[in-house]
Structure 1
């Protein structure tokens, strides 16, 4: 099971496997916690920022996941 760590968000996955939970989580993040920006992002890349006042970082989804998990462990 995967849970969203955004403050005040109680979303959690209901999935038959870890891969399916990760896919649900990615869809949840896009639908609930992302914003559309007017910028060219290369195919297969995403932009994230870990804290409200941080700079945006362009990276792969996998690296974004690692950065997000790392920031939650701080």
Structure 2
């Protein structure tokens, strides 16, 4: 099962598999917690910041997922 790690968010996936839960989680993050910003980001890269006051990090999607998971799995 996958739960949202954002403070105060009680969302959790209800899915038949880990892959389906991850897809639901990604959809939830975009719909509930993402913002659109104007930025020049190279193809194949994403920008993330782990805390509200951190600088934006430009990285690959895979690295962003690893950073997010390690940050929230303390």
TM-score by length of 1: 0.88
In the alignment, the residues of structure 2 paired with residue 27 and residue 43 of structure 1 have an alpha-carbon distance, to the nearest angstrom, of 21
Distance in 2 (alpha carbons) for counterparts of 1:19 and 1:42: 27
Closer, same or farther in 2 for the Cα pair 1:56/1:19, shift >3 Å?
same
Deviations 1:39-74 (CA, angstroms, capped at 9, x unpaired): 122333221100111111122222111101111234
The number of residues matched between the two structures is 74
Change (3 A) 1:10 1:57: same
Structure 1 gap segments, 5+ residues each: none
The ranges of structure 1 where at least 4 consecutive aligned residues each deviate by more than 4 angstroms after the TM superposition are: none
Q: CA RMSD in A?
A: 1.3
TM-score, normalised via structure 2 length: 0.88
